[in-house]
A and B are shown apart, each in its own frame.
Chain A
């Protein structure tokens, strides 16, 4: 993806140049419920992670991009055309839906070949075999999908979606159910496709999944685009936000006094749970805590953070 600059909520401008995916002020609501609210962004070739907690509107957004939902307002364009009610656009789009179900009675190879034939590929058998190899499913390709593990089914779905070598690949939680080795292989495959000029957008609610494969990310919270741009910049934003950490030790008062002298700490409070510390530099704080406890002659028994959940991180991004 040619970088869309890091921006705050609802302010991501559409970049200049050829874009595979464009959303302009897109909203989608169901009755009184707003699932996607005034989202604008543009994506070119590359891998982009669509990050957000459950209920953020990621699937709704992907379904609009895949032409299976009309926007209630705004404009969705894929390769310059609206995908809604336009089956022809699927020659250039591959979609991996979130739902796990695949035709259980087909073998992996039959399923991918089915996709290839519906795409009208001249050498459907060859393309299907190639796609099966790319996702590493050769050993199981003659088994019915009903006997597959969740991770294998995900790989079969991905093979079916990329069998026609689409320009745009949309994946909804593609790493669900995959073991770490399969995840890495799938991430590498997406990276290779991006290098070949494909535009790949995948959703996830797990930051670490996005970290490995997505150099660019879009962060959605409560239907809005909370941030978009370079992964590392947003990661830093997430990491360097104020953190609240509670420490239990053999002497909380002595530990609090020792921590207060450190510039990484900007507030310390003694609570019934222990010593509650606020820091904006989580990394630096982690490094100093052991030394501080040694200096104070205090034994630390427990350290925990109350705001480390992804939802909390997203809430922080929205507030900014």
Chain B
């Protein structure tokens, strides 16, 4: 019971922290972009799975929106508290460190999924809904891909933020260099690509006509689960060894 109370308190305060920042407004605007494009597609009478999936889902939702949202929230959940020193109010409590990490991770995943997944779902419903069963399956596949990708990104950059204060920079670098360039040029690193996990997961529902999907659905789910488990375990390990600086005194 006490653990549940502590868990819900940490989730509550983390959600308020994450949503109360100005950058959330910018992320909301970014999240509105797929919806706006879906409306334009629909208005232009282009209700088709292929081009919508390539342009809106592949180019925007899974390549820009999903990673950016999860990296920003993931790196900020601990990072902001470490930067301003308020982390001490959380850690000077008889709460197991795994519970702190779990609560933070769930919070970050929830807001990331709500924003990126919600946007993808709404856009898919607008554009693909009228197509019928295939359209609905494609929309559901896209949402599943964004959910899996968000969970992976959130876990990874939550952990990174406990090792370095440059988690955000590293995250954006990872998104642009690793996922944006290297994973296209070097097919061998598909096993280490969150984008590939997301695409593989989406294919479990519907074979989306996007550029490269190199992993089977099973492999994608397993690798995503391994990534989340390893990064959260690392986060717990790191938080247990967290030290405050000595200060000027």
Asked if A28 and B246 sit within 8 Å, CB to CB, the answer is yes
Whether B96 sits at the interface, judged by CB under 8 Å, is yes
Question: Which of A52-60, A206-214, A294-302 has 4 or more CB atoms under 8 Å from chain B?
Answer: A52-60
A67 contacts across to B, CB distance below 8 A? 92
Query: A160's closest neighbor in chain B, by CB?
Result: B89
B197 to chain A minimum Cβ distance, whole angstroms, is 33
Question: Which of B13-21, B42-50, B208-216 has 4 or more CB atoms under 8 Å from chain A?
Answer: B13-21
Chain B interface extent, by class: 20 to 34
Whether B86 sits at the interface, judged by CB under 8 Å, is yes
Asked if B249 and A120 sit within 8 Å, CB to CB, the answer is no
**Out of B9, B94, B242, B249, which one reaches A91, CB within 8 Å?**
B94
Asked if B93 and A103 sit within 8 Å, CB to CB, the answer is no
B248 to chain A minimum Cβ distance, whole angstroms, is 6
Q: Which of B1-43 contact A (CB under 8 A)?
A: 2, 5-6, 9-10, 13, 16-17, 20
Q: How far is the CA of A205 from the CA of B91 in the complex (A)?
A: 26
Query: A68's closest neighbor in chain B, by CB?
Result: B244
- Over the window 102-144 of chain A, the binary record of Cβ atoms lying under 8 Å from chain B Cβ atoms (1 yes, 0 no) is 1101100000001101111000100000000000000000000
A160 to chain B minimum Cβ distance, whole angstroms, is 7
Whether A154 sits at the interface, judged by CB under 8 Å, is no
Q: How far is the CA of A88 from the CA of B94 in the complex (A)?
A: 5
B24 to chain A minimum Cβ distance, whole angstroms, is 13
B94 contacts across to A, CB distance below 8 A? 87-91, 118-120
Query: A60's closest neighbor in chain B, by CB?
Result: B246
Asked if B249 and A103 sit within 8 Å, CB to CB, the answer is no
A interface residue numbers (CB < 8 A to B): 28, 30, 35, 52, 54-60, 63, 66-70, 85, 87-91, 93, 95, 97-99, 101-103, 105-106, 114-115, 117-120, 124, 160, 172-173, 203, 205
11 contacts between A and B (CB under 8 A): A52-B249, A58-B249, A63-B246, A87-B95, A88-B94, A89-B94, A90-B94, A114-B9, A115-B93, A118-B6, A203-B249
B interface residue numbers (CB < 8 A to A): 2, 5-6, 9-10, 13, 16-17, 20, 84-86, 88-97, 240-249
